[in-house]
Structure 1
Amino acid sequence: MSHAHSHPHPHAASRRRLALALILTGGYAGIEFVGGMWTGSLALLSDAGHMLTDSAALALALFASAWSQRPANSSNSYGYARAEILGALVNSLLMLAMIGWIVFEAIGRLLRPSVVNGGGVMVIAAAGLGVNVLAAWILSGDSHNMNSRAALLHVLGDLLGSVAAIMAGAVIWLTDWRPIDPLLSLLVAMLILRSTWLLIRQSSHMLMEGVPAHLDMEAIGRALAKQPGVQSVHDLHIWHLGPNRIALSAHLVITEPDHWTRLLATCQAMLAKDFLIDHVTLQPSWFTQRSGHVIPIIEQAEKPHAHDHAPHSPHPLHRHSH
């Protein structure tokens, strides 16, 4: 059994972005909350609530990013890379809870409209918009990272909330039509619901060790089976080690044991180049077992049977020679 893997790059830049965004959003969340209470605006209060949960989300993302870099040990042989996936899932669930709260409050405001200071809402929300734009720009530089993307989703939700609050403040200031405040809050909630749900599904799929969505398991199996010297591929598994690392394990039935070292290197290079899989475990065998005894290679060559090459899997991937 052989392995091939590389070490992940440091996440120092990601942590700096998360820390800076945390300072920005956390610092302004309190100001916007006080402003929402003063003006009586649900849009502003919901935006402040977003920023407060953003601060918690960014703190969680920062913690997960740091925790994921802990080295592997005897109790966690793969290390802690999945801490970032877990952080993304928790952040997404927090966002889902926040959406539920906004919808509940908006319906209540539609049934019982309250007085809103439109001018004050516009001023405070405009400042919040600037903070959110800056935080989103900082985090967008690391959007390939699932943990950072979950935090970015919170900030983008805030950004939309700030825009909605500005629009609500302007309408109320000009027309005194107060239902616009909860209506726009509902619109923001619906806009961010889809992205939140997609991230929940993606992080859950990774934690369940599902095949990465961008990879075709059958195509990878066929690519392995096409390598010269491979008769069949069994027990193929592909999963995420972390947000940016993919692992593969498989059992290969080969024709020439003496050529295994060269074949292993060829398979590893192909998987890394064509599919960006950098942690590979391949188990070779050049015999099958029937009734407790080993079938010699010569007998296997003289009497090929499809079921002889698939003792462990009902659907092996075979390579046919012409």
Structure 2
Amino acid sequence: MFVCIKLVFDIGCRQPHRMPCTRKLEKMAQSHHIPDGQLGPKLLASIAINVVILTAQLIGGMLAGSIALIADALHNLTDVAALCMSYGALRVSRRPASPRYTFAFQRAEVLAAVLNATSLIAVSAFVSVEALRRLSSPEPVAGGLVMAFAAFGMVANAAAAWLLRGHGSNLNIRSAVLHLVSDSVASFGVLIAGALIHWFGWFVVDPIVSLLLAAWMIKESVGLLRTAANILMQGVPDGVELALVESAIREHPLVEDVHDLHVWAMTSSNIVLSAHVVLPCELGEPERLETVKQLKSMLHDRFEVEHATMETETTGVCTGMSCDKE
């Protein structure tokens, strides 16, 4: 369980642009970063592990008569789907840009995260309905079998999640790891339920644990959906304050004003910015270009802005459709 707790902590701190993580923790996360070139084979290995878990727990759940174990198996089914979509999104996102898709397919990871989280919510709803039915009429469960298969699932899922450590800044991979970690934690809960059933005959524990796991899965999935929705709606990325960005631009000695400022994210790790910057009218073209270069460098260093488009203007002159609205 220590592995699962550590992975959950790492995922939280590696969410893109989350300011609450301390500098020390950020450096630790960076020191454990793994090149994306190793990600494909690790995803395939995780898929294979989860197919084995799914098969074993489905058989075990039917033999033991445990809805909690079957729910854990169904959760693993979504793990397999999540990992397959993550692998597909990884391949698609590496395709080069085209005349139609000028930013290439970077947001494939965001779409995959939405599908993963949605599938997890659907499975949680199914588990909740079945658990409520059994709560009113508990059925006999073979606690020993539940313990054995749950322990296997917990260890195997933790191993699969550990394979993907170091890639938490990618929303797509973070969603897949969330599936794995949540299922490992779920298996631990099922293991405890199996022990209570085996030694005390508390059959009602099986549906109770199922409901708790379903609620936890829904909570985590909703958080992931909110992050993905913010990206798709081109909201300001979490941890980035627009006022601070504007203030940082204004700190440059040659900047007289800044307006039409927009900050959004193409992906979980690619922040984009556009702005109109007012410079002194006596500046020549070389000085303007140098000022923009300095601003872009500052934005990259302080706010991790990967792509900045800055239009320079002189006092009283504003170009573009947005200027008519000001």
- TM-score band, normalised by shorter chain: 0.7 to 0.9
Equivalent residue, structure 2, for 1:317: none
**Structure 1 residue 191: Cα displacement:** 2.4
Equivalent residue, structure 2, for 1:17: 42
* Contiguous gaps of at least 5 residues in structure 2: 1-33
Q: What amino acid maps onto 1:238 in structure 2?
A: V
**Structure 1 residue 110: Cα displacement:** 0.6
CA distance in 1, matches of 2:196, 2:291: 69
TM-score using structure 2 length: 0.84
Q: CA contact under 8 A between 1:46 and 1:161: conserved in structure 2?
A: no
Cα distance per residue 1:61-112 (max 9 Å; x no partner): 1111111111111000111111101111111111111111111111011112
Q: Which runs of 4+ in 1 moved over 3 A?
A: 287-290, 310-314
Q: Compare the two structures and name the one with the higher helix fraction.
A: 2
Equivalent residue, structure 1, for 2:310: 282
Equivalent residue, structure 2, for 1:102: 127
Which of 183, 207, 223 pairs up with 1:158?
183
TM-score using structure 1 length: 0.85
**Structure 1 residue 16: Cα displacement:** 2.5
CA distance in 2, matches of 1:311, 1:167: 62
Find the residue that maps to 2:305 and give its secondary structure.
coil
Which of 91, 111, 122 pairs up with 1:66?
91
Which of 74, 77, 82 pairs up with 2:102?
77
Which of 229, 232, 235 pairs up with 1:210?
235
**Structure 1 residue 226: Cα displacement:** 2.3
**Structure 1 residue 43: Cα displacement:** 0.9
Q: What amino acid maps onto 1:51 in structure 2?
A: N
* Contiguous gaps of at least 5 residues in structure 1: 1-8, 295-309, 315-322
Which segment drifts farther, 40-49 or 170-179?
A: 170-179
- Superposed, 1:224-303 pairs within 5 Å as 224-255=249-280, 256-258=282-284, 259-286=287-314, 288=316
Q: CA RMSD in A?
A: 1.9
Is 1:56 the counterpart of 2:81? The answer is yes
- Superposed, 1:113-192 pairs within 5 Å as 113-192=138-217
Q: What amino acid maps onto 1:31 in structure 2?
A: A
CA distance in 2, matches of 1:151, 1:212: 21
Q: What amino acid maps onto 2:161 in structure 1?
A: A
Q: What amino acid maps onto 1:146 in structure 2?
A: L
Equivalent residue, structure 2, for 1:40: 65
Number of residue pairs matched by the alignment: 288
Cα distance per residue 1:143-202 (max 9 Å; x no partner): 222111101111122112211221121111112111000101111222233221111100
Q: CA contact under 8 A between 2:53 and 2:153: conserved in structure 1?
A: yes
Structure number, greater radius of gyration? 1
Which of 200, 221, 233 pairs up with 2:225?
200
User: Aligned in 2, Cα 1:247/1:272: closer, same or farther, shift over 3 Å?
Assistant: same
**Structure 1 residue 250: Cα displacement:** 0.5
User: Aligned in 2, Cα 1:313/1:230: closer, same or farther, shift over 3 Å?
Assistant: farther
Find the residue that maps to 1:43 and give its secondary structure.
helix
User: Aligned in 2, Cα 1:10/1:77: closer, same or farther, shift over 3 Å?
Assistant: farther
Q: What amino acid maps onto 2:299 in structure 1?
A: L
**Structure 1 residue 313: Cα displacement:** 5.5
